[in-house]
């Protein structure tokens, strides 16, 4: 295969290889050529600059991390993907002959150049030499009979007189000088503890690369360099193929959340390609800015980067840290390399991290750098016991302890890293260590990880939404909250006084007698029909543990906690998805006749649709338990009918007091229903589950005066909702169905424009407004958002921001 190519080498580090190679890539691209970029060795910073210069992935060629016989196939693959390149520029590593310690130049620039049969151009820093430069070049050119230089580029010339002296001396070597870069070119990239600052972390990276390209255009012989590249002999062999290295593990396309952004700048390009070939869908997320993992996450890959530099920002993103830990604790297959390991620790230099690993990270003055040979001493997420692999280590941090109860690898007989099964699945689902592995060299890693991801997705048979995601995960400092449906930030003064008065009683255990009687009286039922709970969420957990359905059904889209609780208890509920085109109206005939447990919200969160009592009654039948979540019914205007008002046989109705009265932090709710079912739930409830302050609040909130205030508040909500609905309509956004609750559901697809799915929500967040994402509700996609009803002034602020997003004047 014809593959024009050349290798940019140097006598050692800091001679300007990256400057010249990146500038050459940029200059050739400006000439209209498609340029493929490669880096010899495991370095992950330089390929970031290469990618920015070429507009295609920067790739690594390393005979230690991959096999020697893979170098040409990987090179040919890089030439062809994502499209055929006109020329390739390969940047060397360290000095021309510097490779694996003790390996006689193995994995050196010279070694790889020989495998590629590529012309080698030497970059030489001449800032401290003159004629001696020719002697250095002569020595490098004659040191190994199998390696010959094709030309020289002089870097950091002090003056024309200085460079002319060296050019004359170079005549004795017989090698052409292909250009001279001046010392004051002003194109040096900043460095820090592990080398250059990654391109993704620099706001001026594009300008820097443009400056490099301009310098190359001005000072180097592009025609001569291209002639050398085109003089390279054809290469034998076939391109490496990810599709021939791994196979899809199932017909699914599960999402693998891949960390990216300024704190996670490195992973080998072939990693994503192998995951795709193995039937996964890599989706990047930014741990610095994203509030949640990508929708449908069934696997997590946390690669390299600099979390120690961005520790404070990572720590500040509490919603993502919480979501990530929850996903790992739930058994989501997770691979963490180096930066990923640090991020999963409890802290880094005092800044809190995810906390999925019982270890702490810190900066250290000692640099850890080198190739490693690994062995798995037991079965892990990435390899079976006895597996032997090659890796690279490069960091100036350490974690304590260095290994968990079960290690990720043995290195020279010593355990390193962490292999764990946090969800108790019976197999490791978490793999974290400092070691970087090139999956193209060990495709079995990708295959094993992908198989675990597919298996996890399969176990989530109903779908892969994050059922533990709630509105509070969307909020954050500086954001106007339209994501949480609680109407007040704190209880009203009269309720505050009642709750505060219970402080003197906290020395005694809670007594639910009076509050239970108050609820029974308010609804006209016996106390045996009532169970007080720590909010409606506890009630769902209790019923999932108490009941033993053979065919549970959850009507969606709705509050995800019922399905999450049922799944956690070992049930596999069936989903009935209501039709958006029909306004999410309940059709009882959609529910399977053999369902013996049916859960439905009324009004439903997030649709805000109130189902007719007649439709709910059609769901009732002998042998079936009907669970109706009325958490928002007290916020519906017009005194709507509750199912509590009728026959309670086979019925459980859940109520929450947190929404209307600002009690989300207190957790106050109750269940009213069939006394046999209520007794079964009570048997699962821990003693004193509902606190004394919560009991006092429950009694107060079901009193006649409070119920009257709630009805007044429902009328206010209805008026405010009308303002919101009209404002959205003016911007081309229709709310779903006929909303009746303190929130509306909106599909933003009509105004998304060229933004990616979910782009409207992201744009609002950038402008300082948090709305609830819809794609974690089964049946909805990323363009759906739930918007809480707020006062008219606050609503106007949101509408103004939304008008800015969609480009419509108000």
> Residue 153: what are its φ and ψ, rounded to 5°?
-120, 125
Residue with tokens 């055929």: 84
Q: 449 vs 144, 247, 283, 367, 793, CA distance in Å?
A: 42, 12, 16, 30, 50
Tokens of 68: 């020697």
Q: Is 338 a catalytic residue?
A: yes
Backbone dihedral angles phi then psi of residue 239, each to the nearest 5 degrees: -60, 145
- Closest among 709, 642, 640, 660 to 485, alpha carbons compared: 660
How far apart CA 696 and CA 706 sit, in angstroms, is 13
Non-local (6+) Cβ contacts of 428 within 8 A are: 379, 380, 381, 406, 419, 420, 421
Measure the CA–CA gap between 790 and 118, rounded to whole angstroms: 67
Direct distance between the N- and C-terminal alpha carbons of the chain, in angstroms, rounded to an integer: 61
**Residue 520 Cα distances to 355, 513, 532, angstroms:** 44, 11, 11
Q: At what angle do helices 692-701 and 704-730 cross, to 10 degrees?
A: 80
Q: Are 392 and 303 in contact (CB under 8 A)?
A: no
Closest residue by Cα to residue 361 from 399, 396, 321, 313: 399
Containing H/E element for 77? helix 71-80
Give 754's contacts (C-beta < 8 A, 6+ positions apart).
none
CB-count exposure of residue 355 (10 Å: 0-12, 13-18, 19+): middle
Find where tokens 């620790």 sit. 345
> How far is the C-alpha of 78 from the C-alpha of 270, rounded, in Å?
10
Interhelix angle 493-500/692-701, nearest 10 degrees: 140
Q: What does the alpha-carbon distance between residue 231 and residue 197 come to, in Å, rounded to a whole number?
A: 35
Kindly name the residue from 280, 338, 345, 701 that is annotated as catalytic: 338
Comparing CA positions, the residue from 62, 152, 172 lying closest to residue 115 is 62
Chain-centroid distance of CA 644 in Å reads: 43
Which residues pair with residue 257 across a beta bridge?
283, 300
Q: How far is CA 661 from CA 495, 604, 657, in A?
A: 8, 19, 6
**3-state secondary structure (DSSP) of residue 758:** coil
Rounded CA gap, 671 and 603, in Å? 16
Residues taking part in catalysis? 338
């Amino acid at each position: 295969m014809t593959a024009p190519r050349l290798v940019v080498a140097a006598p050692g580090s800091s001679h300007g290889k990256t400057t010249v190679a990146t500038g050459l890539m940029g200059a050739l691209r400006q000439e209209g050529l498609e340029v493929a970029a490669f880096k010899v060795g495991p370095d992950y910073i330089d390929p970031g600059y290469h990618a920015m210069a070429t507009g295609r992935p920067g790739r690594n060629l390393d005979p230690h991390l991959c096999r020697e016989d893979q170098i040409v196939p990987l090179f040919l693959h890089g030439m062809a993907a994502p499209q055929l390149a006109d020329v390739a520029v390969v940047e060397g590593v360290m000095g021309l002959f510097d490779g694996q310690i003790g390996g006689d130049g193995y994995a050196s620039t010279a070694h790889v150049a020989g495998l590629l049969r590529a012309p080698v151009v030497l970059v030489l820093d001449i800032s401290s030499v003159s004629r001696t430069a020719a002697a250095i070049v002569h020595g490098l050119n004659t040191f190994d009979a199998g390696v010959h230089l094709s030309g020289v580029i002089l870097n950091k010339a002090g003056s024309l007189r200085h460079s002319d002296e060296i050019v004359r001396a170079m005549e004795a070597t017989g090698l052409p000088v292909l250009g001279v870069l001046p010392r004051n070119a002003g194109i040096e990239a900043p460095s820090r503890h592990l080398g250059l600052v990654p391109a993704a972390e620099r706001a001026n990276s594009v300008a820097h690369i443009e400056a490099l390209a301009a310098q190359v255009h001005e000072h180097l012989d592009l025609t001569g360099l291209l002639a050398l590249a085109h003089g390279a002999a054809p290469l034998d062999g076939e391109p490496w193929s990810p599709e021939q290295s791994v196979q899809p593990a199932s017909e699914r396309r599960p999402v693998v959340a891949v960390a990216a952004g300024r704190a996670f700048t490195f992973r080998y390009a072939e990693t994503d390609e192998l995951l795709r070939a193995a039937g996964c869908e890599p989706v990047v997320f930014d741990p610095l800015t994203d509030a949640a993992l990508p929708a449908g996450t069934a696997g997590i890959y946390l690669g390299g980067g600099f979390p120690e530099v961005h520790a404070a920002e990572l720590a500040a993103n509490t919603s993502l840290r919480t979501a990530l830990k929850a996903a790992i604790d739930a058994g989501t297959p997770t691979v963490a390399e180096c930066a990923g390991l640090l991020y999963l620790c409890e802290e880094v230099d005092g800044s809190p991290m995810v906390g999925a690993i019982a270890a702490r990270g810190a900066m250290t003055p000692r640099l850890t750098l080198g190739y490693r040979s690994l062995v798995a001493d037991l079965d892990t997420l990435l390899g079976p016991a006895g597996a032997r692999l090659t890796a690279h280590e490069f960091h100036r941090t350490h974690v304590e302890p260095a290994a968990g109860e079960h290690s990720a690898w043995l290195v020279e007989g010593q355990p390193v890293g962490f292999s764990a099964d946090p969800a108790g699945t019976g197999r490791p689902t978490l793999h974290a260590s400092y070691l970087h592995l090139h999956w193209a060299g060990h495709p079995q890693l990708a295959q094993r990880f992908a198989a675990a991801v597919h298996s996890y997705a399969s176990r989530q048979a109903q779908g892969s939404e994050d059922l533990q995601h709630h509105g509070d995960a969307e909020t954050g400092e500086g954001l106007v909250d339209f994501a949480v449906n609680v109407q007040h930030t704190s209880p009203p003064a009269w309720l505050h006084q009642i709750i505060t008065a219970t402080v003197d009683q906290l020395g005694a255990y809670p007594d639910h007698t009076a509050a239970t009687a108050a609820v029974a009286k308010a609804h006209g039922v016996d106390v045996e029909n009532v169970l007080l709970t720590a909010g409606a969420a506890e009630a769902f957990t209790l019923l999932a543990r108490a009941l033993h359905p053979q065919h549970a059904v959850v009507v969606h889209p709705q509050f995800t906690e019922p399905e999450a609780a049922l799944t956690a208890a070992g049930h596999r509920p069936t989903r009935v998805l209501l039709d958006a085109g029909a306004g999410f109206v309940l059709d009882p005939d959609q529910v399977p006749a053999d369902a013996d447990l049916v859960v439905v919200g009324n009004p439903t969160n997030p649709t805000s649709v109130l189902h007719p009592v007649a439709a709910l009654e059609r769901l009732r039948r002998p042998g079936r338990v009907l669970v109706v979540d009325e958490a928002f019914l007290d916020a519906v205007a017009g005194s709507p009918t509750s199912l509590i008002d009728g026959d309670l046989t086979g019925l459980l109705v859940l109520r929450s007091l947190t929404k209307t009265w600002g009690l989300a932090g207190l957790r106050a709710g109750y269940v009213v229903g069939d006394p046999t079912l209520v007794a079964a739930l009570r048997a699962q409830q821990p003693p004193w589950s509902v606190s004394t302050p919560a009991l006092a609040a429950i009694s107060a909130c079901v009193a006649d005066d409070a119920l009257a205030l709630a009805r007044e508040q429902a009328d206010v909500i209805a008026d405010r909702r009308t303002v919101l609905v009209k404002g959205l309509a003016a911007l081309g956004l229709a709310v779903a169905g006929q909303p009746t609750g303190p929130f509306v559901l909106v599909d933003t697809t009509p105004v998304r424009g060229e933004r990616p799915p979910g782009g409207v929500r992201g744009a609002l967040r950038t402008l300082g407004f948090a709305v609830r994402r819809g794609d974690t509700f089964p049946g909805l996609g990323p363009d759906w958002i739930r918007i809480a009803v707020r006062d008219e002034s606050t609503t106007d602020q949101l509408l103004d921001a939304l008008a800015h997003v969609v480009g419509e004047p108000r």
